[in-house]
Amino acid sequence: MHTANDVAARLYQTVSLLSRETDQILQEQLGIGLSQYKILTVLQKSPRMQQTIAKKLGQTEASVSRQIKLLRRQGMLTVNKNPQNRRKHIVNLTNSGSQVIVTAEKTLSMYHRTFFANLDTAEGQKLYKLLNILQKH
């Protein structure tokens, strides 16, 4: 029987591998990293303030600010002052940013199929259920 530490270590290794390879694929195919992709997907539903993005992603505002600057330079985002509070900024996704999300999702879908190819349908469903249980804690 594996200890909780064994399971946690294996899960951490798997998540690290998945994140690292996802970041590499996004860099090679689209010129953005995983952190930038996450920001784009957060903005997909509606514009948000930087602080809200950082909180939603569990990242520091400084880290999100750096990524937003890079995405803005690439034309994927616009940043405007909040009319109700001039010291805060609202971040919006551009058409270019929306297109990058669509392309990234197609690219990552192919990679994820390969990553999980060794699992049959029942194993994949069981893994999904187990991850949901863990995430609720």
Q: Which domain holds residue 117?
A: 4-136
Q: What is the pTM of this model?
A: 0.85
Distance CA 84, CA 55 (A): 20
94 and 79 in contact (C-beta within 8 Å)?
A: no
**Among the residues of the chain, which ranges form H helices?**
4-30, 34-43, 50-57, 61-73, 95-115, 121-136
Extract the residue ranges of the chain whose pLDDT is less than 70.
none
pLDDT tens digits, one per residue of 35-67: 999 999 999 988 888 888 999 999 999 999 999
- CATH number of the structural domain spanning residue 31: 1.10.10.10
Q: What is the pLDDT of residue 5?
A: 92
Q: Which residue has the tokens 């750096």?
A: 66
Helical (H) or strand (E) element with 86: strand 85-93
Number of domains the chain contains: 1
pLDDT value for 2: 82
